């Protein structure tokens, strides 16, 4: 049994209420709770910094669930990271050079993101030279590596505004989680 922390980083806007992000986070919790101990933080509901830091130390894997806003994390997720990722708690100055002081070296993380961009758009047109969604999130991946965590394969849902298919997203999420966490 593994300890897993799921962080729902959706930020509500009039055009984007957060139902898909919440649905995916809750579904992940339900699926993973069959074999693991799971805690869920929904950032918009509020959080206590020390409690969140304790969750990072408790968890063996962290799943970040959020929509892509302007090619990155929502502002509320960025603020959460600013608050929770503190020196001396999750990282220190690395003795072997910059970026080597992460205190979460025994942890893994996974991204679960939602995009309005169709997956077929990557590698051409606007996305020419960017072949995969993860390439857009390079800074986020480097941040997690700075904390010492190792990346698991990411999951993403696409075309979620114009052509949503919630049932297909949920089935794909279940398949992905089973491959990573329920082998």
Q: For residue 79, what are the CA distances in angstroms to 10, 73, 84, 164?
A: 12, 10, 9, 28
Distance CA 169, CA 160 (A): 9
CATH numbers and ranges of domains, the chain: 3-181 (3.40.50.360)
Provide CB contacts within 8 A for 56, sequence distance 6+.
Answer: 5, 62, 84, 90, 104, 107
Q: Per-residue confidence of the chain (183 residues) as pLDDT tens digits?
A: 799 999 999 977 676 666 899 999 999 999 999 999 999 999 999 999 999 999 999 999 999 999 998 898 999 999 999 999 999 999 998 888 898 899 999 999 999 999 888 888 888 888 788 878 888 999 999 999 999 999 999 999 999 988 889 999 999 999 999 999 987
What pTM value is reported for the model? 0.94
């Amino acid at each position: 049994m593994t300890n897993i922390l799921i962080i729902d980083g959706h930020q509500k806007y009039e055009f984007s209420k957060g139902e898909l992000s919440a649905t995916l986070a809750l579904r992940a919790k339900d699926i993973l709770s069959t074999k693991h101990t799971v805690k869920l933080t929904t950032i918009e509901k509020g959080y206590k910094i020390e409690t969140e830091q304790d969750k990072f130390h408790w968890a063996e894997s962290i799943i970040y669930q959020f929509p892509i806003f302007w090619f990155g994390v929502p502002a509320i997720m960025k603020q959460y990271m600013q608050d929770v990722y503190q020196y001396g708690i999750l990282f220190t100055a690395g003795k072997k050079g910059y970026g080597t002081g992460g205190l979460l070296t025994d942890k893994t993380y996974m991204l679960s993101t939602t995009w309005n961009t169709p997956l077929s758009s990557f590698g051409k047109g606007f996305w020419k030279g960017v072949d995969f969604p993860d390439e857009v999130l390079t800074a986020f991946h480097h941040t997690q590596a700075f904390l010492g965590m190792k990346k698991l394969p990411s999951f993403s849902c696409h075309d979620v505004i114009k052509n949503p298919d919630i049932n297909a997203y949920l089935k794909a999420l279940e398949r992905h989680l089973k491959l990573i966490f329920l082998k």
